[in-house]
Amino acid sequence: MALSKKPVTGMKDILPEEMEIRDYVISVIKETYGKFGFTSIETPCVEHIENLNCKAGGENEKLTFKILKRGEKLKIDEAKEENDLVDGGLRYDLTVPLVRYYSAHAAELPAPFKALQMGNVWRADRPQRGRYRQFMQCDIDILGEASNLAEIELILATTTTLGKLGFKNFQVRINDRQILKAMASAAGFTEEQYDDVFIILDKLDKIGEEGVKEELAKAGYADTSIQTFVGLVTSLQNAENPIAVLQNDLVAKGNLDASVVEGFEQILDSVRASKGDYFELVFDPTLVRGMSYYTGTIFEIAMPEYGGSCGGGGRYDKMVGKFIGNDVPACGFSIGFERIIMLLLENGFKVPGADKKTAYLIEKGMSKERVSDIMKEAQAARANGQTILVAMMNKNKKFQKEQLNAQGYEEFKEFYKEELKH
């Protein structure tokens, strides 16, 4: 078979210029999250196929890259369907592996456990511009913290990191699944209808209030329910004091627990009190977020330069229970690492404080002794903190220097066979 030079469909090679930015962003993320007490962990990229199919991954489960069984376990003749042929798959997110990890190691881990994961995930999505089948995710999660301290810390850590990377004027939108459900319940929808109703609500910023009403009507819901529901949403959107609206319209009428609103207010107040002015924390009653595993607060980052979301997360208190039987409170926030990198690249981001770089160019045919001396000099300069590239001098030295210039080498030291030339 002929060899293929291109990367596999939908995945990409990362060239040095982008890699330099990625390495820098990774180091800022690790350092900043470290200051908040998050500790790095890692899980294998390959996960049990049964865990990947456990319904915690939503639509992503359909996009799993599956791994063929090996040796005697692979029985091609007897195989009827995909799952007969595979025993593992590449993880499509970092949440399912985190929950498995926590279930396996809880006894060895601090409580609460503040985890930072940076790692690739894979989804066999239809390839499209700027969207790849292998991409880096960057998640922080707090397991074992029932209070809203978790949300506050996650939002502060994530926004501090984005601030350090120079992002500003962005929004963190926040909502709570329990608020969504209370609105739906107050409007008379049944629990089975919630998800369907929320999916339509999610389109509000695209199709507008009337569009949402139309779609809900088309889905056959009662007009009074639709009017009440959309009325609640818009009154929350337009309220100067939405917390008061929550209390008057939902808590007072028995649709929402007072503690939910208190906790929600605590998050808003604490984050707003300690955040810089480079971002806004906004209560968005239309925020839904796709994953069905969320049980409480949900949040999302909206960047002015970018239409879609640049990160998000929420509380998922019921997922650990799937593995170990009893529930453990859990809350996470994921940065859209690839989008962040894309935005930095598009904005011509330069990694700050890059060292001065020097290139040593050696004429061909230099004596053994001189080469040894030059290498010694290079080693001493490196030990001194300098970046030194040593290369043989090309015939076209001008072109070589131009190329090196483009790589950031501004100073040159040329070594010739005859000292006089130097």
| Span 31-50, contacts to its own copies by CB under 8 A | 34-37, 39-48, 50
Which tokens hold the place of 253? 């009428």
Q: For the segment 151-210, give every residue that binds its own copies (CB under 8 A).
A: 152-153, 156, 160
Which tokens hold the place of 307? 């239409």
Nearest CA among 31, 273, 270 for reference residue 164 = 31
**Shortest spacing between CB 344 and its own copies, in angstroms:** 16
Asked whether position 66 contacts its own copies by CB under 8 A, the answer is yes
Return the residue of 2, 130, 220, 307 that touches its own copies, per CB under 8 A. Answer: 2
Q: Give the CA count within 13 Å in the CB-facing half-sphere of 246.
A: 24
Asked whether position 14 contacts its own copies by CB under 8 A, the answer is yes
Asked whether position 375 contacts its own copies by CB under 8 A, the answer is yes
Asked whether position 82 contacts its own copies by CB under 8 A, the answer is yes
Q: For the segment 255-284, give every residue that binds its own copies (CB under 8 A).
A: 262, 265-266, 269-271, 273-275
Asked whether position 351 contacts its own copies by CB under 8 A, the answer is no
Q: For the segment 384-413, give every residue that binds its own copies (CB under 8 A).
A: 385-392, 403-404, 406-407
Asked whether position 141 contacts its own copies by CB under 8 A, the answer is no
* DSSP secondary structure string for all residues of 100-164: HHHHHHGGGS-SSEEEEEEEEEE--PPPBTTB-SEEEEEEEEEES--STHHHHHHHHHHHHHHHH
With contacts defined by CB under 8 A, name the span among 66-74, 166-174, 232-240, 339-347 that binds its own copies.
66-74
In sequence order, the 6+-apart residues with CB closer than 8 A to the CB of 158 are: 140, 172, 301, 311, 333, 335
Nearer to its own copies, 136 or 291 (CB): 136
**Shortest spacing between CB 19 and its own copies, in angstroms:** 4
> Which pairs with CB-CB distance under 8 Å and at least 24 residues apart come from 257-262?
257/178, 260/176, 260/178, 260/179, 260/182, 260/296
**Shortest spacing between CB 21 and its own copies, in angstroms:** 10
**Shortest spacing between CB 186 and its own copies, in angstroms:** 25
What is the C-alpha to C-alpha distance for residues 230 and 303, in angstroms, rounded to an integer? Answer: 26
